[in-house]
Amino acid sequence: DAGVIQSPRHEVTEMGQEVTLRCKPISGHNSLFWYRQTMMRGLELLIYFNNNVPIDDSGMPEDRFSAKMPNASFSTLKIQPSEPRDSAVYFCASSLSQGAFGTQYFGPGTRLLVL
């Protein structure tokens, strides 16, 4: 199994630009999670999906952030417009369960730098 795939691995952009992060979950997993990791705030859950439906997006910091999951094998996290404070590592994880019963498998992350 290829594991969770994220692209790009690194992204450098200028403030105000649109950023799109991509995630391919493990085949057969029905839950997908987007996290943000920074030194100051640690690992934060932004949003999660179950069966392609967004369940809880209360962790999304602002309206500039949006996430979609058009099918079971693909999800995007978009930031528009981006700001320097969005610089972080963004992780996608997938699982057989949205809750505690399933192990979350993390992708390698996308390191985002907004100048």
Partner 1 sequence: AQSVTQPDIHITVSEGASLELRCNYSYGATPYLFWYVQSPGQGLQLLLKYFSGDTLVQGIKGFEAEFKRSQSSFNLRKPSVHWSDAAEYFCAVGYSGNTPLVFGKGTRLSVIA
Closer residue to partner 1 in complex, CB, 27/103 = 103
Name the E strands within the chain: 5-7, 10-13, 19-24, 31-38, 42-50, 53-56, 65-71, 74-79, 88-95, 105-106, 110-114
Closer residue to partner 1 in complex, CB, 75/98 = 98
Closer residue to partner 1 in complex, CB, 63/101 = 101
Q: Is 94 in the site for partner 1 (CB under 8 A)?
A: no
For residues 93 and 104, the answer to whether their CB atoms sit within 8 Å is yes
- Written as one letter, the residue type at 94 is S
Residue 81 neighbours by CB distance under 10 Å: 14
The two three-digit tokens of residue 39, written as one number: 């030194």
Exactly one of 65, 82, 88, 91 binds partner 1 (CB under 8 A); which one? Answer: 91
- Least Å distance, CB 103 to partner 1, is 5
The two three-digit tokens of residue 76, written as one number: 């995007």
Q: Is 57 in the site for partner 1 (CB under 8 A)?
A: no
Exactly one of 45, 52, 78, 81 binds partner 1 (CB under 8 A); which one? Answer: 45
Point out which residues bind partner 1 (CB under 8 A): 4, 33, 42-43, 45, 48, 56, 91, 93, 97-101, 103-109
